[in-house]
Amino acid sequence: MMCDSGLGNLLARQLDLRGLRVLAACLTEEGAQQLRGQTSDRLEMVILDVTKTESISVAAQWVKECVRKELETLSGGNPHQLMMSVSA
C-alpha cells in the first residue's frame, strides 16, 4: 500500500501515532516530504515505483536492511539467536 495519500497515508500516520515503527513506501518525493512532516522519526520511507524493476529491487533491499538492523537491536547483536528463540 502506497503512503502518498489515501488509506496508506492514514494507516502510516495512525501506526506512527500508536508508537509503532513504520516502513512506508511513497511514489513521489512530494508525498514522502508531506508524510515526513506529519510523523515522527519512527516512520522511515522509501520512494517506490512498482512499474520499475530497479525501484522494486532497491525498496526490497531497503526493507531487508531495516529488518536486519531491528533484529540486531532486539537480539543484542546476534539476530540468529533471536530467530532461534522465536522458532522454539
Q: Rounded to an integer, what distance in angstroms lies between the CA atom of residue 60 and that of residue 67?
A: 11
Q: Tell me what the mean pLDDT of segment 12-26 comes to.
A: 96
Question: What does the block give as the cell for 46?
Answer: 522509501
- The per-residue pLDDT for 8 is 95
Has this prediction a pTM greater than 0.85? no
Segment 20-79, tens digit of pLDDT: 999 999 999 999 999 999 999 999 999 999 999 999 999 999 999 999 998 888 877 665
Question: What does the block give as the cell for 13?
Answer: 500516520
- The per-residue pLDDT for 37 is 95
Nearest in space to 70 (alpha carbons), one of 18, 20, 11 = 20
- The per-residue pLDDT for 78 is 66
Q: Rounded to an integer, what distance in angstroms lies between the CA atom of residue 23 and that of residue 65?
A: 11
Integer Rg of the chain from CA: 15
User: For residues 84 and 63, which has the higher predicted lDDT (pLDDT)?
Assistant: 63
